Amino acid sequence: MSVICVGGMIGIGKTSVAELLAKELGSDVFYESVDDNPILPLFYTASPEEIQAKRYPFLLQLYFLQTRFASIKEAYKQGDNVLDRSIYEDWYFAKVNHDLGRISSLEMQVYEGLLDEMMREIDGLPYRKAPDLMVYLKADFETVLHRIGLRGAISSRTRPSSSTTARCGPATTTGCTSTTRPARSSSST
């Protein structure tokens, strides 16, 4: 039984790599919850004032945290699966939103408390404590924008404008290689 997590910024190729790995290993892919995410369209189409007033960045982080937690638990139960994004990189995106002032210090404290509890539960699971392999994909920002354009998608979520890019913050332009939050696991990720 093995669980592989694939990470990186939007448009980097996480889904393609996850599908290739799963095909090679004869396993399933657990996809990031994007199409059924009720908050993501609001986050990318609302004005900056509405985003802050309705606290979309915090709600979005909580939604992703919850769905990634559910996915990783299910993947660990089944074994031999690949995750297209995982709970192990979620904290970085919350931190970027906090650093940019889109998540308050109190919201970040609540988020980190939930994440810590979830990580403790993962640590306590009898079937797994950490992924067997974490694959992090990187490319320069222009390459990523080109790949997003090749998708042919029209939505503002997949074709960032300058205001969307500003909302995404450093996570979309530099990746998350320098800032990591240690996972509460006895195994190395």
SS (H, E, C) the chain: CCEEEEECCCCCCHHHHHHHHHHHHCCEEECCCCCCCCCHHHHHHCCHHHHHHCCHHHHHHHHHHHHHHHHHHHHHHHCCEEEECCHHHHHHHHHHHHHCCCCCHHHHHHHHHHHHHHHHHHHHCCCCCCCCEEEECCCCHHHHHHHHHHCCCCCCCCCCCHHHHHHHCHHHHHCCCCCCCCCCCCCCC
Give the active site residue among 80, 84, 123, 132. Answer: 84
Of 136, 121, 180, 155, nearest to 45 (Cα)? Answer: 155
Q: Is 84 in the active site?
A: yes
| Interatomic CA distance for residues 173 and 189, integer angstroms | 24
Residue whose entry in the numeric block shows the structure tokens 């404290």: 109
Q: Could you list the active site residues?
A: 84
